[in-house]
Chains A and B, each alone.
Chain A
Amino acid sequence: DVQLMESGGGLVKPGGSLRLSCAASGFTFSRYSMHWVRQAPGKGLEWVSCIGGSGRSIYYADSVRGRFIISRDNAKNSVYLQMNNLRAEDMAVYYCAAEIIAATVLDYWGQGILVTVSS
């Protein structure tokens, strides 16, 4: 079974940094793109970033470009989101998701991890 497990969330002050991790299992990790999607409290889903299987193709939402860095370690079956210069509006539940069944289709999701940005 495909499993995705996020970790690394927590409370951080505005301007601070946090690194999220997502450990994957149950599929050939290196073959598939991985995404981060977030959901602010009481709000809808917002796509954040994605990275291709080899790590060469990377895309970001305008709201995080220049502050967040997505990366992956295929040897560890993990994808990461380094979040720098965090703002109050970055506070959200962050989900990692796998694009397996077809391009741009997020067919498996983690349970989500909460990032709180507050002084």
Chain B
Amino acid sequence: QSVLTQPPSASGTPGQRVTISCSGSKSNIGTYTVNWYQQLPGTAPKLLIHSNNQRPSGVPDRFSGSKSGTSASLAISGLQSGDEADYYCAAWDDSLNGRGVFGGGTKLTVL
């Protein structure tokens, strides 16, 4: 059971907009910023969104993040087949002397 809760799957057709939610608590998302990682099949994770809504250099503006209270979400607009991947939210958690926490991951399928 992951500390951050994500839906296990999401799907959309090319060109559509999809959102992936991430639910936490006061000790993690309620206190710290949220980061999102994309993991394409067979590859290492890649930073997609950091500090709730910041895109690293090279990440298309089709990807956006937001946070409200103890929840966060990742939005992908103009869905492309190359977006098919696993997406993970993550945050720091100040319970148990401090630790990093990930969501369980959401597998995005482009239909």
- Inter-chain contacts of A46 with B (CB < 8 A): 102
The residue in chain A whose Cβ has the minimal distance to the Cβ of B86 is A44
Q: Which of B9-17, B18-26, B42-50, B69-77 contacts A (4 or more CB under 8 A)?
A: B42-50
Do residues B91 and A104 form an inter-chain contact, with CB atoms below 8 A?
Answer: yes
Most chain B CB within 10 A, of A47, A61, A112, is at: A47
Q: Residue-by-residue, is B26-46 near A (CB-CB < 8 Å gives 1, otherwise 0)?
A: 000000110101010000111
Do residues B44 and A61 form an inter-chain contact, with CB atoms below 8 A?
Answer: no
Q: Residue-by-residue, is A91-108 near B (CB-CB < 8 Å gives 1, otherwise 0)?
A: 000010000011111111
Do residues B35 and A35 form an inter-chain contact, with CB atoms below 8 A?
Answer: no
Q: Is A62 an interface residue (CB 8 A)?
A: yes
Q: Is A59 an interface residue (CB 8 A)?
A: yes
Do residues A106 and B47 form an inter-chain contact, with CB atoms below 8 A?
Answer: yes
Q: Residue-by-residue, is B43-86 near A (CB-CB < 8 Å gives 1, otherwise 0)?
A: 01111001100001000000000000000000000000000001
- Inter-chain contacts of B2 with A (CB < 8 A): 44
| A2 CB to nearest chain B CB (Å) | 12
Q: A residues near B, CB below 8 A?
A: 35, 37, 44-47, 50, 59-62, 95, 101-112
